[in-house]
Copies of this chain bind each other. A is one copy, B any other.
Amino acid sequence: MYNFSYQNPVNIVFGKNEIGKLSELLAKDSKIMITYGGGSIKKNGVHDQVVKALEGYSYIEFGGIEPNPKYETLMNAIALGKKEKVDFLLAVGGGSVIDGTKFIAAAIPMERDPWDIMLGNAAVEKAVPIGTILTLPATGSEMNSGAVISRISTKEKYAFMSPWVMPKFSILDPEVCYSLPKRQVANGIVDAFVHTIEQYLTYPVNAMVQDYFSESLLKTLIEIAPKVMKEQPEYDDCANFMWTATMALNGLIGCGVPQDWATHEIGHELTALHNIDHARTLAIVLPGVMNVMRNAKRDKLEQYAYRIWNISAGSSEERINQAIQRTEDFFESVGINTHLKDYDVNETTIGIITERFKERKTLLGERQDIGYGTVAEILRSRL
C-alpha cells in the first residue's frame, strides 16, 4: 500500500425529507446564490422545498447550467455573483451543476481569467463556500474537491481539484430519484461504476480494504441497476444507488492505491468533440482500455473477473475476455450503447483525438504509459 493523506470534511445529510434541514446548515445572514440546471428542480418539487427552507434568507438564483457545464455560461454566473456580493453558493442539481458551482466559487474572488485554473496557470487560493442539494446520483462531486468544465469556443474539457471548493454540506435525498429520466439514472450507474474501476483496475499493491470496498460498490451497482431502472423504484434501492455513487468518488477507495483515469481522459475528448453524455463516453472507452491494457492490468483483471463476475474457469485470456464482455453487457443492460458507431463516430474523430494527445504529449494511465498511439488503438477497438 502506498502512503496517502485523506481528509474529507463534507457534512453529508442523507435521507428522505432532509432538504428541510437547510436552515440548520446556513447562517441566517448569508447572501446566497442558488445555482441550478435546466429547470427540472422546478418540476420535481425540489425548488419548492428549497424556497420553503430558505424563508427569511436573502438569496438570488442562477439557472441554466448545462450538462458538461460551460465556461461561457459560468462566466455569467460569476459576474452576477460578484455584482451581488454573494457569500454562499447553494448548488441544487447533479454533478454538472455542482462542478459548475465549484468553478464559480473559485472564480468569484479572482481578478484574472478563471480559465487559467483549468489550464493549471492559476492556483485556487480561496473560494466562496458551497453547499449542495444533490438531485442526481452519479459524479460524487457532492463529496469531493474536483470539477470538470468545458469551453465551447475551444472545444476543450478539463478538470481541476482544490480543497477550497469542497462543499461545506451536501444534502442527499434519495427520493429525488423517483422523477429522474431513466437516461440520467443509467448515466449515473455507469459513471459511478467507472469511477470505481478507475481507482481499482490498475495493478495490485496489497491494499485489501480499498479493493474490498471498491468491489462492494461494483457489486451494489450491478445488483441495484435493474431495480433503479424500473418505472417506480423502491426507496432503499435509490438510497443504495445514491450512497454508492457518492462513495465511488469521495477519495476513500483511492487512498494508497494507483489510479488510472485513462478512460475519463479519452472520454472527455468524445464529449468535447461530439457532446456525447459523459457516462456514455466512459461506457465506450472502458472496454477498450481493459482490452488493450490487459497485460499491464492482468492481475487486477483476473481479480475483477473472479470477485465481481464469479468467473473462475478458463485461461487467463478467456477469463479476461469474459469479464470485459460482462462489463459491456452490464452497460448495455441499462440502455447505454458501448461502441463508437452507435454514436456515429468514426475514424476521423479517432484521428483528431490522437492528434490532440500527441500535441499535448500527455501520457495516460496508472503507469503513465498510454501514449497517443495506444489511445488510437483503444478507440479503434471500440468502433
Question: Hey, which bits of chain A sit against chain B, CB under 8 A?
Answer: 1-18, 205-209, 212-213, 215-217, 219-220, 223-224, 236, 239-240, 243-244, 247, 252, 255-256
Q: Which residues of B contact A10 (CB under 8 A)?
A: 7
Q: Which residue of B lies closest to A244 (CB)?
A: B209
Known: A1-B236, A1-B243, A216-B216. A255 touches B14 (CB 8 A): yes
Determine if B16 and A5 form an interchain contact, defined as CB atoms under 8 angstroms apart: no
Q: Which residues of B contact A11 (CB under 8 A)?
A: 5-7
Known: A9-B9, A14-B256, A256-B15. A1 touches B209 (CB 8 A): no
Give complex CA distance A313, B223 in Å. Answer: 24
Q: A208-B216, A208-B240, A215-B216 are in contact. List 12 more A-B contacts (CB 8 A).
A: A1-B239, A1-B243, A3-B18, A5-B14, A6-B11, A7-B10, A7-B12, A206-B240, A208-B223, A208-B244, A212-B219, A239-B256
Determine if A220 and B209 form an interchain contact, defined as CB atoms under 8 angstroms apart: yes
Q: Which residues of B contact A244 (CB under 8 A)?
A: 208-209
Q: Which residue of B lies closest to A218 (CB)?
A: B212
Closest CB in chain B relative to A205 CB, distance in Å: 8
Q: Which residue of B lies closest to A237 (CB)?
A: B206
Closest CB in chain B relative to A274 CB, distance in Å: 34
Query: Helix, strand, loop or mixed for chain A's interface?
Result: mixed
Known: A206-B236, A208-B220, A208-B224. A5 touches B1 (CB 8 A): no
* 15 pairs, A vs B, C-beta closer than 8 Å: A1-B240, A4-B14, A6-B14, A8-B8, A205-B236, A208-B224, A209-B217, A209-B244, A209-B247, A212-B217, A213-B213, A213-B216, A215-B216, A216-B216, A243-B256
Closest CB in chain B relative to A16 CB, distance in Å: 7
Give complex CA distance A89, B35 in Å. Answer: 41
Closest CB in chain B relative to A133 CB, distance in Å: 15
Closest CB in chain B relative to A343 CB, distance in Å: 32
Determine if B3 and A209 form an interchain contact, defined as CB atoms under 8 angstroms apart: no
Q: Which residues of B contact A256 (CB under 8 A)?
A: 14-15, 239, 243
Q: Which residue of B lies closest to A174 (CB)?
A: B1
Q: Which residues of B contact A12 (CB under 8 A)?
A: 4-7, 255
Select the residue from A4, A16, A209, A247 with max chain B CB neighbours within 10 A. A209
Closest CB in chain B relative to A123 CB, distance in Å: 18
Determine if A209 and B243 form an interchain contact, defined as CB atoms under 8 angstroms apart: yes
Determine if A5 and B13 form an interchain contact, defined as CB atoms under 8 angstroms apart: yes
Q: Which residues of B contact A219 (CB under 8 A)?
A: 212
Give complex CA distance A11, B17 in Å. Answer: 31
Q: Which residue of B lies closest to A143 (CB)?
A: B6
Q: Which residues of B contact A8 (CB under 8 A)?
A: 8-9
Select the residue from A11, A206, A212 with max chain B CB neighbours within 10 A. A212
Q: Which residues of B contact A247 (CB under 8 A)?
A: 209
Give complex CA distance A18, B11 in Å. Answer: 27
Q: Which residues of B contact A240 (CB under 8 A)?
A: 1, 206-209
Give complex CA distance A9, B13 in Å. Answer: 15
